[in-house]
Amino acid sequence: MPELTFFFHARHDGGIRMGIELDAETTLLDDFLPGPPELENDPLGSALLWYVDIRCRGKDLPSDPEGARSWFLAHRAEFENGLHEFADEVGAGTDDDSTLRRTTPSSGRLEIERNDLQVEYACGVIRRVKGPELADRLHELARQFAEYLQRIPERVPF
Q: Give the 3-state secondary structure of residue 154.
A: strand
pTM for the model stands at 0.81
8 A C-beta contact, residue 15 and residue 31: yes
- Whether the pLDDT of residue 106 is over 50: the answer is no
- Whether the pLDDT of residue 8 is over 50: the answer is yes
- Whether the pLDDT of residue 18 is over 80: the answer is yes
- Whether the pLDDT of residue 134 is over 50: the answer is yes
Higher-confidence position of 20 and 11: 20
Higher-confidence position of 10 and 12: 10
* pLDDT tens-digit series, residues 24-83: 777 776 666 666 677 667 767 677 888 899 999 888 899 888 899 999 999 999 999 999
If you average pLDDT over residues 10-15, what whole number do you get? 81
Q: Which pLDDT score is estimated for 154?
A: 67
Give the rounded percent of residues in the chain with a pLDDT score beyond 70.
70
Closest by CA to 121, choosing from 97, 105, 142, is 105
Higher-confidence position of 101 and 18: 18
Q: Where are the beta strands (DSSP E) in the chain?
A: 3-11, 16-22, 25-33, 48-57, 99-103, 118-125
